[in-house]
Structure 1
Amino acid sequence: MWNHLLLIAQGLFFVLGTYQVFLSVFAWKRKREKIEHEPTKSFAVLVAAHNEEKVVGALLENLLKMDYPRELFDVFVICDNCTDGTADIVRGYPGVYACERVNPNERGKGYAIEWMLRKLWKHPRQYDAVVMFDADNLVATDFLKYMNEDLLNGHRVVQGYLDTKNPHDSWVSAANGINYWFCNRLWQLPRYNLGLANFLGGTGMCFETKLLKEMGWGATSLVEDLEFTIRCIQRNIYPKFNFDARVYDEKPITFRASSRQRLRWMQGHFHVARHYMLPTLWQGIKERKWAKIDAALYIFNAYYFLLGFTVTGVLWFDQLLPGDPNFDSIYAVAPAWLSIPIALYMYAQTPLAMLLEKVPWKMYLRLVTFPIFSISWWPITVYAFFTQNNKTWSHTEHTRVLRLDEVQGKQM
């Protein structure tokens, strides 16, 4: 019986893996985004900050040099429960609003955004759209031009390309960078090319103001970006991915910091899966909308990782035991002409994504340690499953002070 159950589970993972392989084929080529409209949309640029005095200044200098009419955007920094000099630094930049929030009972970015939006709707000036960044980010100077273009073309929610500010700092930041290059190219881009919904990434996001007022924010889980994405999809609003609107995010440089960050992500992912996966799947089936079914499958990834890692571990352990294996592998059952090419392609996806993204050649050396980072998702996911009711926000300290020209120069 256990052998049959394992084969069924492997069959499910094989189908889902094959589906992702199928999607990724539509990312081999891409068309560059075009800017055809003059800047007309006004933006409220929100920056989420909690004790970010070391890095927030670099972002503000960056934002104030945006290649977009200065009269069409204002910058608001949410100084959320800060105990350092973040607010003082923000006040040192003319025309930038330091919005201080103190609420020790409701910690986390989702609560901070919800608070800021309530203040924004009462602000004397109203804006066409709201853009959100994190304090450790750097932003390509043409970012708002791309957002203006997408809004004028009828898109209501847009996600920019999440690049890495510091992939050369350590093997951990390099692994995070590789992971993001993979997701941008082989997960986000094919969904955009096929007309499916894209997924918000927590920063580099743009929202039509009218939509935010209609829906409210209402996303206060540990993965507020994914939660808001699904709420949009359920309302037939499909976020769009803009490949050329670049945001550079700082990645943790130590394994411990990265593990804490990923644990928070997975805890939040399980929470969203528990509340939204089945309703979204059922809605997609009833309405015959593949974008919603695809979104439900995406949410299922938390369980996919958990069960997939567990089944793989059981099979590996079974192989190490003396005597004949007790369990069959799906690759021994599926036809070789199908299973072998898919297995090989799945292993080749990561370097393929790096090749398509024209990543500097030195980063390929980091593929040696990337499997360690990948395998570490297993214990993190298992622990997250048993602690998924935890809603305590764990702050990732950011200290890497870089300027935009330094980051872009290293990627040439």
Structure 2
Amino acid sequence: MFHWQLIVLSSILVLLTLPGTIELAMITIAGMLPSRDPLPNAIASTIGRLAIVIPAHNEATSIVRCVRSVGACMLPDSVETEIVVVADNCTDATADLARGANARVLVRSDSARRGKGFALRFAFETLLDEGFDAVVVVDADSVVDSNLLLEVVRLFRMGADGVQVRYVVLNPDDSTRTRLMNVAFMAFNVLRARGRARMNLSVGIFGNGFGLSRATLKAVPYDSQSLVEDLEYHLRLVQAGKKIVFVDRARVRAEMPTGGRGASTQRARWEGGRLRTALENLPRLLGGVISGKSRLLEPMLELLLLPLAFHITLLGVIALMPFVVARIYALLALALVAFHVVVGILVGGGDWRDFSALLSAPFYVAWKLATLPKTVQSARSVAPWVRTER
């Protein structure tokens, strides 16, 4: 009887991890290949006015640095740009400091509807009414490369529905945890995006450093309000036939919490929101794939890919099962994860410090597993916008 219970358990674990293993294999191999024209059939577009939107909730310590970083960008020819800070339910000097840095400030006060999604919706509706042709979102704790606006406008002019630039860590040297997060970002935000771009798929929205055209916002209004508003909105874009293009030549770098409560809360909130989004959207995506909408297959597999710490843990359990086939699968899948991380460091521009940080990966996995109760608790549709401790 116990033997059959082990067979059932191993089968369930294999089914839970197999979609994620397939996803990792596809995007890793594709991400290693040379890039190609991201918009072979797009219709050229005119971009006359571009708004750089900076959503901010009590970001007095970083808002000036962010505004000045965006203000130092090289400007595209014949494009009017404006930096717009959304001071959302702020109780500090964020708005005054942003004005002092020569940004336009939109003050939003709504204690009943708090969150980045509400702030972005408010900004987008305001700016579309004013005739802006596209928007770019940069988080208030970030700095950007000086060529960011040039690259974004170039792709919008080529007809992109939306764009996503490289999103990596600003402070990888602050702690072992931020260094490991930098490794994760290079795999998740660079390698996976390159892989999707190579497969001519929409690369995703990572919440920071993304842009949307006026036509896209009109066709698919932004009304995402969850903890993972970027993931939620991107799924709607893909279902509507829209495509986000990867900007591989420019970066946005954000400050990450160095450890403790801030890091734990940030990851639990994001992964809890991702879990809820997966549960809500997987049936619809599966139905679309069955009906012949092949563009929905990769987003479905991506949702089925568990956070790597959990994915690795389940594969480790499978490897301990007394079944040869299950063990072989688990070992191959674990090797694929390692290969994926190594390739992510290489294509992401990492160095020996990123490779050496992998020695601490087991402790990072243990820390992630310890956040599981918070992750489950965070799997709610709406949660307040709480500034992460850094």
What TM-score comes out, normalization by structure 1 length? 0.84
CA deviations on 1:150-170 (whole Å, 9 max, x unpaired) are 112221011111021100011
* Structure 2: distance between partners of 1:235 and 1:50: 31
1:172 aligned residue (177, 185, 195): 177
- The letter for the 2-side match of 1:244 is R
Shift of 1:243: 1.4
1:215 matched residue in structure 2:
220
CA deviations on 1:196-253 (whole Å, 9 max, x unpaired) are 2211000101100122123211100110000000000111112222211211111111
2:73 matched residue in structure 1:
66
2:83 aligned residue (75, 79, 86): 75
2:95 aligned residue (82, 87, 99): 87
Indicate yes or no: 2:32 matched with 1:28: yes
Shift of 1:122: 3.4
The alignment of Structure 1 onto Structure 2 pairs a total of residues equal to 380
Indicate yes or no: 2:156 matched with 1:151: yes
Write the mapping of 1:4-403 to structure 2, written as runs, cut at 5 A. Answer: 4-12=7-15, 13-14=17-18, 16-31=20-35, 40-69=47-76, 72-94=80-102, 96-123=103-130, 126-289=131-294, 291-302=295-306, 308=311, 311=314, 327-329=321-323, 332-333=324-325, 340-389=331-380, 391-393=382-384, 395-397=386-388
- The letter for the 2-side match of 1:117 is F
Q: Could you tell me whether the CA contact under 8 Å between 1:192 and 1:198 is conserved in 2? A: yes
* Structure 2: distance between partners of 1:131 and 1:382: 34
CA deviations on 1:1-22 (whole Å, 9 max, x unpaired) are 4222222223322453144123
* Structure 2: distance between partners of 1:378 and 1:239: 32
Higher mean C-alpha displacement, 208-217 vs 38-47: 38-47
Aligned alpha-carbon RMSD (Å): 2.8
| Structure 1 pair 81–394 and aligned structure 2 pair: CA distance change class (3 A) | closer
| Structure 1 pair 190–82 and aligned structure 2 pair: CA distance change class (3 A) | same
* Structure 2: distance between partners of 1:236 and 1:344: 35
Shift of 1:40: 4.8
Extract unaligned runs of 5+ from structure 2.
39-43
| Structure 1 pair 170–223 and aligned structure 2 pair: CA distance change class (3 A) | same
* Structure 1: distance between partners of 2:238 and 2:361: 33
- The letter for the 2-side match of 1:286 is S
| Structure 1 pair 42–355 and aligned structure 2 pair: CA distance change class (3 A) | same
Q: Could you tell me whether the CA contact under 8 Å between 1:67 and 1:142 is conserved in 2? A: yes
Higher mean C-alpha displacement, 342-351 vs 17-26: 342-351
CA deviations on 1:316-366 (whole Å, 9 max, x unpaired) are 8xx6xxxxxxx435xx21595x76555323223323321333313233221
| Structure 1 pair 339–367 and aligned structure 2 pair: CA distance change class (3 A) | closer
What TM-score comes out, normalization by structure 2 length? 0.88
Partner SS state of residue 241, structure 1: strand
* Percentage of identical aligned residues: 23
Q: Could you tell me whether the CA contact under 8 Å between 2:318 and 2:326 is conserved in 1? A: no
* Structure 1: distance between partners of 2:340 and 2:308: 18
Shift of 1:309: 6.5
| Structure 1 pair 278–234 and aligned structure 2 pair: CA distance change class (3 A) | same
- The letter for the 1-side match of 2:24 is Q
| Structure 1 pair 76–335 and aligned structure 2 pair: CA distance change class (3 A) | closer
* Structure 1: distance between partners of 2:291 and 2:36: 35
| Structure 1 pair 368–264 and aligned structure 2 pair: CA distance change class (3 A) | same
Higher mean C-alpha displacement, 234-243 vs 385-394: 385-394
CA deviations on 1:72-109 (whole Å, 9 max, x unpaired) are 11011000111111111111133x21111111111110
| Structure 1 pair 270–341 and aligned structure 2 pair: CA distance change class (3 A) | closer
Extract unaligned runs of 5+ from structure 1.
320-326, 400-412
Partner SS state of residue 172, structure 2: coil
Partner SS state of residue 186, structure 2: helix
Q: Could you tell me whether the CA contact under 8 Å between 2:26 and 2:195 is conserved in 1? A: no
